Amino acid sequence: MRRVPMIFSCVLLAVGMSFGLSATQTSADPVEVTAQSDVNPLAARPLYVDPDSGARRALSTDPASASITGPLASTPQARWFTDSTPTAEVAGAVSAYVGPAAAAGAMPVLVVYAIPQRDCGGFSSGGLPNATAYGAWIRQVKAGIGGRPATVIVEPDALPAADCTGPGGRTARFAALADAVSQLSSDASTVVYIDAGHSRWRSPADLADRLRQVGVAQARGFSLNVSNFYSTSEEIAYGEGVSSLLGGAHYVLDTSRNGAGPPPDGTLSWCNPPGRMLGSAPTTKTAGAHADAYLWIKNPGQSDGECNRSEPASGVWFGSYAADLVQRSGWKAAATPPS
């Protein structure tokens, strides 16, 4: 149920600071990280501002929208790589994103989102046709990273939603995720978080068991609240519970749209719900003992899907929704963690 979707960074990071929403990290050499390390790899470099985000493109085509799109365009966000970029092209696309970030001394955040049977037939359905194709695609993602610093969020929703694929499908999905984690984590400069859904989906014990099965011990940890709206405090409480079952695994939280907390429960309450706000700006200064960072993993202003309301398709820029998020939030509210 989601999502998606170079000149660059030095200028854009400076622009971001002018809005008061850039990452708070200071630049440093990359850190080699293992799952057991207490050194936060995301604190070593400033987070990269994507020069080709939806907000950045909207700003370039409509300069009059600067009051809305300017702050979004200058805030570090993840870039999503999906099966819409073929295997033969994905290494080049990843390299074109990671390379300028490395040159700027910044940390890019990537999301891989191409698992077979993605989104269980929902608004973001798709994915590669089978595990063999997916494995080949992941290897090209790794080749595109090329040993440079990068943070990768592995397959939003795929692990907690695995049951939708049936018993045989679940086994195949776990194997595909384990292979992706193994491949991407084999480079010490790549920081890997396996997506784990959110606090109201799986029990901590169930989630911890699933994470073990797909190799969380090889990764830095897991991600929570991607493209969702649950409060930072709720997700930290949940994340710490899961972490305690995994020997202190670390995690990151998506705070891109959780400033007002979740909408009232109801049909498609996760799908472009009205009345939401931006959450905390990306930072490694968190309230969780094992929380490495608050990140904007979902790109605010991009649609969650048609939502049975004829809204833009998943990943397409949704200007009126972006405007509502910004206008409701105020930039002071976005700079501090919501309760």
- Report pLDDT digits (tens) over 103-115: 999 999 999 999 9
> What residues are labeled active site?
119, 157, 304
The predicted structure's pLDDT at residue 38: 86
Of 15-19, 176-180, 211-215, 275-279, the one with minimum mean pLDDT is 15-19
Could you please report the per-residue DSSP string of 124-154?
Answer: T-B--SSHHHHHHHHHHHHHHHTTS-EEEEE
Whether residue 90 lies inside any domain: the answer is yes
Q: In this structure, is residue 3 part of a structural domain?
A: no
Specify if 162 maps to a domain. Answer: yes
CATH number, residue 234: 3.20.20.40
235 to 84, 125, 339: CA distances (angstroms): 31, 26, 11
- The total number of structural domains in the chain stands at 1
pLDDT above 60: residue 3: no
Whether 2 maps to a domain, the answer reads: no
The reply to whether 168 falls in a domain is yes
Q: pLDDT higher for 130 or 3? A: 130
pLDDT value, residue 339: 33
Number of helical (H) and strand (E) elements in the chain, helices listed first: 10, 7
Give me the domain span that covers residue 75.
9-334
Give residue 269's pLDDT. Answer: 87
- What is the pTM (predicted TM-score) of this model? 0.88
Instruction: Give the pLDDT confidence of 258-271 residue by residue, as tens digits.
Output: 999 999 877 788 89
Phi, psi (deg, nearest 5) at residue 317: -60, 135
